[in-house]
Amino acid sequence: MRRPMLYLVYRAGVAVVGVTVLAVGVLAIPYPGPGWAIVFAGLGILATEFAWARGVLRWLRNRYRSGMAWYSARGPWIQVLTTVGTFVLVMVTLWVLGTFGIVGSWIGVEWEWLRSPL
């Protein structure tokens, strides 16, 4: 290797970017949108330089496929129940974080129950 310091800086940059994308993906999983895709993207970034990330990515991809196959094989009641549960989780989280109070104040709605309990 002709420039070991440059390579070290590059690997550190890949690590910082990969871990940041991965963390955003993990936080986004329960919300509508591409949470799992962001997780896979973060692991993909890390896998370009780190063997452990390639193994984790392979393992997680297999678990994800197994989980989705299990979920798809369940009846519509389980699918509806998990969809409603996810919706409730998202709404409670947005309420606790104060999102409803903020958005309500933008449109002139100042109901007390919209405010976060925190």
pLDDT tens, 37-88? 999 999 999 999 999 999 999 998 899 899 889 988 988 998 899 889 988 9
Contacts of 54 (CB under 8 A, 6+ apart): 47
DSSP per-residue codes, 16-30 = HHHHHHHHHHHHHTT
Q: Where are the domains of the chain?
A: 1-73, 74-118
Has residue 31 got a pLDDT over 80? no
Has residue 30 got a pLDDT over 80? no
Q: What is the pTM of this model?
A: 0.62
Question: In the structure, what pLDDT confidence band is assigned to residue 24 with cuts at 50, 70 and 90?
Answer: very high
